[in-house]
Amino acid sequence: MTQQAEPDAIPDEATTAKAAAAGPDADAEPAAKPAGDQAGETGTPSRQETGPDGFGAAFCASMATLSAEVVIAATTGLLVLLSREHDGLPHGILLLAAVSLAALLLTVLLSGFVTAAAVMPALALARRAARRAGRPARWPWTLGAVAAVSAAGVVTFGAVAALGSLSLAHPLAYLVWWASLTVGLLPAAFVARLADRRARTGRAGSMARRVTRDGAIAWVAIGALGAVLYGTGLVDVYKPPKLHKSDLAGVWDDGRGGRVELSDNGTAVANGLDNYLWDGTGQDKAKDCNGSGTWSPMKDNGQVQGVHLEIAKCGFNRNWSVAGTAKEPRIFYGVGKPGSGKRYELKKLVKGRSAGKARVGTKANPENE
Candidate from 4-8, 68-72, 242-246, 270-274 with smallest mean pLDDT: 4-8
**307 neighbors 295 (Cβ within 8 angstroms):** yes
Q: Which residues pair with 343 in a beta bridge?
A: 334
Residue 339: CA count within 13 A, CB half-sphere? 1
Q: How many Cα atoms sit within 13 Å of 318 on the Cβ side?
A: 23
What pLDDT is stored for residue 200 in this prediction? 85
**Confidence check: pLDDT of 134 > 50:** yes
Compute the distance between CA of residue 181 and CA of residue 87 in angstroms, rounded to an integer. 28
Tens digits of residue pLDDT in 259-274 = 999 999 999 999 988 8
Of 231, 255, 278, the residue at which a domain comes to its end is: 231
Kind and range of the H or E run holding 151: helix 139-165
How many structural domains comprise the chain?
2
> 62 with 150, same domain?
yes
- Residue 196 shares a structural domain with residue 113: yes
Taking 50 as the threshold, does the pLDDT of residue 105 lie above it? yes
* 227 and 266 inside one domain: no
**Are 59 and 161 members of one domain?**
yes
Kindly report, residue by residue over 12-36, the tens digit of the pLDDT: 544 444 444 444 444 444 444 444 4
The model's pLDDT over 160-176, given as tens digits with 9 standing for 90+, comes to 988 887 888 888 999 99
What percentage of the chain reaches a pLDDT higher than 90? 44
Question: Is residue 101 situated within a structural domain?
Answer: yes
271 and 314 part of one domain: yes
Instruction: Kindly tell me if the per-residue pLDDT of 50 is higher than 80.
Output: no
Residue 351: what pLDDT?
61
Query: Residue 157's pLDDT is what?
Result: 92
One domain, residues 65 and 207: yes
Whether residues 196 and 307 share a domain: the answer is no
- As a whole number, mean pLDDT of residues 295-307 equals 86
Q: Given pLDDT bands bounded at 50, 70 and 90, which one contains residue 125?
A: very high
- 278 band by pLDDT with thresholds 50, 70 and 90: low
Higher pLDDT, 279 or 314: 314
Residue 352 in this model has a pLDDT that exceeds 80:
no
Same domain for 77 and 190, yes or no, is yes
Instruction: Quote the mean pLDDT of the chain.
Output: 80
| Mean pLDDT computed over 203-207 | 83
CATH number of the domain to which 326 belongs: 2.40.128
Q: Does the reported pTM lie above 0.75?
A: no
pLDDT value at 199 more than 80: yes
- Burial (CB < 10 A; 0-12, 13-18, 19+), residue 343, is buried
Q: Tell me if 330 is assigned to some domain.
A: yes
Lowest-pLDDT choice from 59-68, 175-184, 341-350: 341-350
Is the model's pLDDT at 45 over the cut of 70?
no
* Structural domain containing residue 258: 245-368
More confident residue, 236 or 35: 236
Residue 87: predicted pLDDT: 66
Query: In which element (H, E) is residue 222 found?
Result: helix 207-231
Average pLDDT over residues 187-198: 94
